[in-house]
Amino acid sequence: MAALLRSFVVLLLVVVTVEARSWSPLYGTNAGVGFNDTSSSSAIKTLTAIRVHYGWVIDGIQGQYATGSSSTWMANHGTTTQFTEIQVAYPSERFVRATGKYGPYSSEKNQGVTVTELSFVTYNNITGKSVTYGPYGGHETSGQTSFQTAAASEIVGLYGFTSDYMRGIGFALEP
């Protein structure tokens, strides 16, 4: 009976954890190759580092995820150019907000909607301090739309669409 009760409690915790996850809107467009880092492994717990590849616009993104007692880098999404790596002091520090812009961008390789700017905010629950990283990219064009993830959420995963540039980005969120 005790083993059955423990199994039920574990199952209940898994169901509650999965149901608590929500998804931000896709900021940008669904043109290009789609990706969803959190759908590839049930072992992924949360986002612990981000590499933002950028020039005038966001060229690509790569996430590192806690997988139990270690962490794993997922594949890079988009093209690889200069990048900045943002590493949090997991588990006390987390990604809590993303802001940015998307809109039309034209170059010799690109025509269409592109994520043009990204920033991330982390929060350390031991020190009580927030840190903003970015903005990365930042090329201004007419017709851009600004975005930010919901307040009081933790960013636990990345999804989106890429080609030569980041076409659209969204975030897996937990309260």
> Which CATH number characterizes residue 152's domain?
2.100.10.30
In this structure, are residues 44 and 70 in contact, taking their beta carbons and an 8 Å threshold? no
| Residue 42 belongs to some domain of the structure | yes
Query: Could you tell me what percent of the chain has a pLDDT over 70?
Result: 85
| Cβ within 8 Å of residue 18, ≥6 positions away | none
| Residue 51 belongs to some domain of the structure | yes
> How many distinct structural domains can be found in the chain?
1
CA 59/CA 48 separation, integer angstroms:
20
Q: Mean pLDDT across the chain, nearest whole number? A: 86
| Residue 161 belongs to some domain of the structure | yes
| Confidence (pTM) | 0.85
Range of the domain at 114: 22-174
Tell me if residue 160 falls in helix, strand or coil.
strand
Residues in the chain: 175
In this structure, are residues 86 and 50 in contact, taking their beta carbons and an 8 Å threshold? yes
| Residue 149 belongs to some domain of the structure | yes
| Residue 1 belongs to some domain of the structure | no
Residue 30's nearest CA partner among 167, 145, 172, 171 is: 167
Higher-scoring residue by pLDDT: 139, 170: 170
| Residue 101 belongs to some domain of the structure | yes
| Residue 97 belongs to some domain of the structure | yes
